[in-house]
Structure 1
Amino acid sequence: MKKKLIVTHQLPRGPFSALKDDFEILWPDADAFGNEELLENLKDADAVVTVFGKSFKTKMINAAPRLKLIANYGAGVDNIDLDAANGEGIVVTNTPDAVTEPTAELAMGLMLNVARRISEFDRELRAGNITDWGVMSNLSSTLQGKTLGIVGMGAIGRALARRASAFGMNIIYHNRNRVSEETEEKLEARFTDLENLLRNADFVSLHVPLTPETDGMIGLSELKLMKTSAFLINTARGAVLNQTALIEVLKNKEIAGAGLDVYQNEPEVPAELLEMNNVVVSPHVGSATRETREIMSKQVVGIIDDFFQGMTGIPVVNPMVLSSGQYRFKQESSS
C-alpha cells in the first residue's frame, strides 16, 4: 500500500516523480491548499512537504495522527510548531544547503544596490527627474575598503564573506560560537562582540535563524550604535529586526539606508519603507532562482526517500525526537 504525501504548495514537480512508486502524492490545484482542504487531507498523511515562511502550526499537526515526517522546503523552520511536532514524535527536516549561495548572492546585491543607489537612479531616470549629470552629482558609496559586519557566521554568512572579500571589503563577524581559526584565516574575518560590530561596520548584514533568542535582537538601541553612514542588510527573517525601530532611525537619518528581503508581517511591507529612496526592498526571494528551486525539490525528495528507508544522513532539525525513541516511524516499524 502506498504511503500518502501532501505537498502544501506548488513546487517544481519533476523530481517528485522518483517517489511515485511508493507514494500517493497530493498537490494543490491552486498555489496552495486552502486551510480546510489541507486539514482534511492531513488525516491520513504519512509525510508532508511544508514551505518556508508558510505556517504549519499546532492545528495542522494535531489533524495528522499518522504523520511521521514534516519535510520543510527551505532552511528556516520558524514556520513549523516544533514543540507540537516534538510532542507527537514527528521528525522535522529542512533543506539548508541549497539556499546558501543564492541568499548570499542576494545579500551582496542588496548591498551594492543600496550603496550605489542603483534602484533609486533607475526610478529617477525613468521618471525624467535626473537632469544634472555633473561630475559631483549623483554620488553614492563604494564597497571597496569598507567594513562588513556579518551577524551570524553560518553557511550563508560565510558565503557572503567570500563575496565581500572579492570586493575588497574588511570582514568582522559576530556569532553565537566563534568559527575555527582556519575558517577565520580563509575568510580573513575577525570575531567581535555585537556592540563593537555595530559601532564599527559600514555595512551590517543579518544571517541568524529566527529563534526565541534572536527574535528582535536588532532593536532601537542596537540600531543607534551604528554609524550614520552605515547600511543595514536583512535577508534572514523579518522578526530578527525591529521594523518600527528601523523606520525611526531611517527617518532621523541615523543610518544611511537599508536593503531588505524579509519583513515582520509578510507579505506586508510598511508604506514608510516603500517611500524611502535609501531603502531597497525585495519580496523574500533569497533562494528564489529557477535553479535553486529545482535543487530544493530534489533535496526534499531525497530526504523523504531516505527517511522511509531508515533515516540515514538526513538533516533533522529536532534530533531530540530521535534520541527519545518516541518518533512515530520507529513505533510503526516495530509494530
Structure 2
Amino acid sequence: MADAATEARDERHVLAVVPPHVGGRAAGAGFAKLLPAPARVTVVESVDEDLQALRTARAVITALSPVTAEHLASAPELRLVQCASHGFDYVDVDAARSRGVPVCTIGSSGAEQQNVAEQTFALMLALAKQLVPAHTALVEADWALPRLKPSLTELSGKTLGIVGLGQIGQEVAFRGRAFAMDVVYAGRRRAAPEVEQRLGARRVPLDELLRTSDYVSLHAPLTEATRHLLSRERLALLKRTAFVVNTARGALIDQAALADALESGAVAGAGLDVFDPEPPPASLRLLRAPNVVLSPHVGGVTRETVVRISLAAARNVAGFLAGEPPQDVVN
C-alpha cells in the first residue's frame, strides 16, 4: 500500500526550477505554496540538481532555467513543461513536441505586460534625458549641464518603432501615444484593424521601421527565425540619432554589432534589460559601451508582477494535474 500511495503522489509530482539569478530556492518555496494538495513540489535551482526528482516529475515549472532535450529524455513521467514567463526560448520545444509533452507559457494571463511596458519607457526616458550620466556627474560634484545639453531630447513627436505588436507591444504602443509619439510596428502578422485604430499604429516592413524610427523597441519572441534579428546589417539602417531598447530577449540583437555601433557613434544609445547569456559575463562589451542604460532583467519582476506570474503558472499546472487541458501551449 505504501508503494501505491507513493505512486499516487508521484502522479502529482511537480519540479519547480528557479535559478539563483531570478530568486533561487526561496522564491521557489514561495511558489510551491501556491499549488494545492495533493501536488508534491520539489524546488531546485537547476534541473540537474536533482535528477531523481526529474525522473518522477509529472510537470516541470521553469523560471528562465534551461530544459534541454537531455532533460526531457530523462523524464519518462513528464507530461507538462510550464514556463513562468511569456518567453519559452530556454526550453527545447522541438524535443518536447517529439515526446508529446506540451510546453506552456503564461501569455494569455497578461501578467508581465504592464511592467515590461513601464520598463521600456523607463529606459527610453533615461536615454532621452541622459539620467544615468547626469546622476553620476552630480554625485561626483560635476555640474554636467553644459556637456549633456546637446544630447537631451524629447519623446513627443518622435517615431516609436515596435518590433512585435503582441500584448506587451500593444501596451508599449498605448504609452507611446500618451507621449504624443508616432507609432509604427513590424511583425509576422498584422494586428486586427480595431487594434491598429485604437493604438494609432501603422504596420511597416522591418527595414523601413529601422530606417525611420527614433526609438526601436523589441517585443518579439526569441526563435531561430528572430535570433540576431537586429544583425550588423540591420543596425546599419538606423539613424545616428536613434535609440535601441530591448526588454524581450538579449539574443534578438547581435550584441557585438551593437557594441560596435555604440562605440562608433552609429547609434545614439541603447536601453537593455536583457542579455545573452544571463547574467552577462563581465567581458561583455555592452556593459562598458557609451550611452547605455542597463538593468538586470527586471521587466517582469516587480512585486505585483511576480504574484501574477506565479498565480498564472500555478493555475495552469494545477488545472492540468486535475485533468483540464493546458493553456498557452506553444508547441
Query: TM-score under structure 2 normalisation?
Result: 0.89
Q: How does 1:109-258 map to 2 (within 5 A)?
A: 109-128=122-141, 130-131=142-143, 133=145, 137=149, 139-258=151-270
For 2:161, the aligned partner's letter is G
CA distance in 2: counterparts of 1:153 and 1:132, whole angstroms: 38
For 1:290, the aligned partner's letter is R
Q: Is the 8 A contact 2:128 2:152 kept in 1?
A: yes
Shift of 1:84: 1.4
Q: Does residue 306 of structure 1 match 2:319?
A: yes
1:323 match:
none
Deviations 1:38-85 (A, max 9, x none): 222111111111112x21111211111001111111111110011111
For 1:107, the aligned partner's letter is T
| Structure 2 segments unaligned to the other structure (5+ residues) | 1-7, 19-24
2:67 match:
56
Q: Does residue 19 of structure 1 match 2:35?
A: yes
**Residues 238 and 282 (structure 1 numbering): CA distance in 2 closer, same or farther, change over 3 Å?**
same
Deviations 1:176-227 (A, max 9, x none): 1111111111001111101111111000111110111111111111111111
Shift of 1:265: 2.1
| Structure 1 segments unaligned to the other structure (5+ residues) | 319-335
Secondary structure in 1 matching 2:100: coil
CA distance in 2: counterparts of 1:311 and 1:226, whole angstroms: 47
1:330 match:
none
1:78 to 79, 85, 89: 89
For 1:201, the aligned partner's letter is S
Which 10-residue stretch deviates more, 271-280 or 158-167?
Answer: 271-280
Q: Is the 8 A contact 1:16 1:297 kept in 2?
A: no
**Residues 136 and 265 (structure 1 numbering): CA distance in 2 closer, same or farther, change over 3 Å?**
closer
Secondary structure in 1 matching 2:237: coil
CA distance in 2: counterparts of 1:179 and 1:159, whole angstroms: 13
For 2:294, the aligned partner's letter is V
1:259 to 271, 280, 300: 271
Q: Which has the higher contact order (CA 8 A, sep 6+)?
A: 1
Deviations 1:83-133 (A, max 9, x none): 1111111121111221111111111111111111111111111122x2354
Q: Is the 8 A contact 1:103 1:156 kept in 2?
A: yes
**Residues 248 and 23 (structure 1 numbering): CA distance in 2 closer, same or farther, change over 3 Å?**
same
Q: Is the 8 A contact 1:99 1:292 kept in 2?
A: yes
Which 10-residue stretch deviates more, 42-51 or 132-141?
Answer: 132-141
Shift of 1:295: 1.3
Q: Is the 8 A contact 2:246 2:272 kept in 1?
A: yes
1:295 to 279, 302, 308: 308
**Residues 191 and 264 (structure 1 numbering): CA distance in 2 closer, same or farther, change over 3 Å?**
same
CA distance in 2: counterparts of 1:273 and 1:135, whole angstroms: 23
1:7 match:
16
Equivalent residues, number: 312
Shift of 1:264: 2.0
Q: Is the 8 A contact 2:161 2:214 kept in 1?
A: yes
Q: Is the 8 A contact 2:28 2:43 kept in 1?
A: no
Q: Is the 8 A contact 2:163 2:220 kept in 1?
A: yes
Shift of 1:298: 0.9
Secondary structure in 1 matching 2:224: coil
Query: TM-score under structure 1 normalisation?
Result: 0.88
Please list every run of at least 4 consecutive aligned residues from structure 1 whose deviation after the TM superposition is greater than 6 angstroms.
Answer: none
For 1:310, the aligned partner's letter is G
